[in-house]
Amino acid sequence: MSGQVKGNGARFKNNVKISERHGAGEWLAERVLLVVVLPLGLWVASTAFTLTGAGYDAVQDWFANRLNAGLLALTAVVFFGYVSVAWKVILEDYVPQPGTRKALVALLNLVFLVLAAASVFFIVRMALGSAPLPAGFGA
């Protein structure tokens, strides 16, 4: 991995200039996350078909299945990870001011982190059959 350094700080590997920054890693992360999201997306489509119009008890039974709850939590985490990278790419294209761009990327990452955490929290409560919220939070 150690590339030899030439005059202006550019790094080379086998005399081929290698990325000065981290773009290649982000590109790969986006591709890998998308490849994981796609089959889960098919599963989400079949799940949406199963659960559309279902009553509370039926949905609770669905969540009681550990495989369903686990796959849904995985989907939430991977999906929000993917859109985090995807929104960064979109913002890099359309927001020219570096300060504004960094602030927006950081804000969206925070939002997606909170959404992923909230999803997993709700899913775990449903899977464990916890009492309806706000039970356990002062009520």
Partner 1 sequence: MTQPSPTSGGASSDRTGRFVTQPNGHVTPLSPHIGIWRWHVTMAASILFRATIIAATVGALIVVAWLGALAFGPDAYAAALALAGSPLGLFVGFGLTVVLFSFILNGTRHTINDTGNGLTIKSSTILSRIAVWAPVPLAILFWVVLFAVGRVSL
Question: Which residues are at the interface with partner 1 (CB under 8 A)?
Answer: 31, 34-35, 37-38, 41-42, 44-45, 48-49, 52-53, 55-56, 59-60, 63, 76, 79-80, 83, 86-87, 90, 115, 118-119, 121-123, 125-126, 130-134
Nearer residue to partner 1 within complex by CB, 44 or 74: 44
Comparison of 67 and 131: residue with beta carbon closer to partner 1 = 131
Residue closer to partner 1 (CB basis): 16 or 48: 48
If residue 12 lies in a helix (H) or strand (E), which one and from where to where? strand 11-13
DSSP run (H or E) holding 42:
helix 23-51
The residue (of 5 and 135) whose beta carbon lies closer to partner 1 is 135
Nearest to 78 by CA among 120, 37, 30, 119: 37
* DSSP conformation letters of 65-79: SHHHHHHHHHHHHHH
Tokens of 73: 């939590």
Distance of closest approach, residue 5 Cβ to partner 1, in angstroms: 26
List CB contacts of 26: < 8 A, sequence separation 6 or more.
Answer: 85, 88
Q: From the CB of 17, what's the least distance to partner 1, in Å?
A: 21
